Amino acid sequence: MQVGIIGINHFSSSLSQREKVAKVCRELFIAKQVSFPIQYVLLSTCNRTELYFSAPNLADAHSEILGLLREEIQDPFDQNLYSFFGSDCFLHLGRVISGMDSLIFGESDIQRQVKVSYESARIKRRLTPSLHYMFQKGLKIGKEIRTAVLPTQARLPATIYSLVDCLKIGKKKILFIGNSVINRGVMSYFLSKGCEDLTLCTRTDKTPFSSVKLEKWDVTKQWFKYDAVISGTYHGEYIIQGSSPKCEVALFDLGVPRNIDPTLAEHPQIRLYNIDDLGQMANQSKKTSEKEIQLCETMLEKIVHRQVDLFHRKQQSRWRYVSACEKLSILP
């Protein structure tokens, strides 16, 4: 398969390094829509930024992409990147979609994030058969593994809820910033726990839950009036910064690049948690056994190997058909 990937994630780099790469990749491959003969799908989440690409010569395409990134990122970053090609790229995507490569093993939000990234790329540009096949089959594989092996995961929302619950406040006012997949998951969990005073601040006029109040973006300037703020959106600058709250406030920054100025953690009335902090806490709450991990790995390898073999056989059949048609067309 003529597919490859260049990526960076929570295993290979720090949060600050991921922020830099995420900003540059979004600018190059989403905002500017760089023009070069490489088909690609950009996956950018709180834990990873990955560019899946397809080209006749994968080595040349890989070098060209690295060159573009080096022009924009001044700090050394090559040692934090990873690359895979062909079936190894497919296998990596399967691990990502199934949640096996996530900070919280088996988390389910990533499946929807991959689907949205693929659908967005498919609409904006033509993708090669290899990319279409890999993402379509990868989404099915991820769902299959999660259904067969992995339990339903709600460790991140549960971790955030438990931290908010530690605040000894009778009726907690909670502000969510951004109508993202990750925020919707946390909102849903909070609602299931009976939380009533939830407010969503978004740049659209839509709310996923009728019981969640909707506010305009300006409410972010009044963040210190809430007991907890959970921010998970994309923004070029810090959304929350400055100010001195009179009461204790818990801030949860789920964005990469970060949405909340990290220096706010120095304030005595503020508890600030970023996505890496929360992921580590969630993992400590429930350890995944080695047996579970190995079962998922074995199952994934077998399925991916079978799908890659099927792809090659389909391609060979197509080539034989085209070749036969060409021979018939030249007969007298």
Model confidence pLDDT, tens digit, residues 71-112: 998 788 889 999 999 999 999 999 999 988 988 887 878 998
Closest CA to 260 of 281, 302, 232: 232
**269 in a known ligand binding site:** no
What pLDDT score does 263 carry? 94
Kindly list the domain boundaries of the chain, sorted by start residue. Answer: 3-153+289-329, 158-285
Q: Do 224 and 241 contact (CB within 8 A), yes or no? A: no
41-45 LR contacts (CB < 8 Å, sep 24+): 41/117, 41/118, 41/121, 41/127, 41/131, 41/135, 42/117, 42/121, 43/96, 43/113, 43/114, 43/117, 44/117, 44/256, 45/110, 45/113, 45/256
CA pair distance 248, 227, nearest whole angstrom = 7
CA pair distance 283, 11, nearest whole angstrom = 14
Percent pLDDT > 90 in the chain is 60
**109 in a known ligand binding site:** yes
**288 in a known ligand binding site:** no
pLDDT of 180 above 60 = yes
Q: How many CB atoms lie within 10 A of CB 301?
A: 14
The dihedral built from the CA positions of residue 110, 112, 115 and 121, taken in this order, carries a sign that is: negative
Task: Give the DSSP letter of residue 75.
Answer: S
Helix axes 181-192, 109-124, angle to 10 degrees: 150
Residue 36 pLDDT class (50, 70, 90 cuts): low
Instruction: Tell me which amino acid residue 273 is.
Output: Y
What pLDDT score does 197 carry? 93
Show which residues are catalytic. 46
Beta strand ranges found along the chain (DSSP E)? 4-9, 39-44, 48-54, 82-85, 174-177, 198-201, 213-215, 228-231, 249-253, 270-274
CA pair distance 190, 175, nearest whole angstrom = 12
Q: How many CB atoms lie within 10 A of CB 61?
A: 21
Closest CA to 3 of 108, 94, 99, 129: 129
**307 in a known ligand binding site:** no
This prediction's pTM: 0.85
pLDDT of 322 above 80 = no
Percent pLDDT > 70 in the chain is 90
Which of the pair, 219 or 170, is modelled with greater confidence? 219
Closest CA to 141 of 322, 250, 255, 297: 297
What pLDDT score does 77 carry? 85
What pLDDT score does 167 carry? 73
How much is the mean pLDDT over the chain? 88
CATH homologous superfamily, domain 3-153+289-329: Glutamyl-tRNA reductase, N-terminal domain (3.30.460.30)
Fold (topology level) of 158-285: Rossmann fold (3.40.50)
**46 in a known ligand binding site:** yes
What pLDDT score does 204 carry? 81
What pLDDT score does 35 carry? 64
CA pair distance 264, 256, nearest whole angstrom = 17
**177 in a known ligand binding site:** no
**116 in a known ligand binding site:** no
**47 in a known ligand binding site:** yes
Task: For residues 198-222, give the mean pLDDT.
Answer: 90
**144 in a known ligand binding site:** no
**108 in a known ligand binding site:** yes
pLDDT of 170 above 80 = no
What pLDDT score does 328 carry? 63
CA pair distance 42, 35, nearest whole angstrom = 15
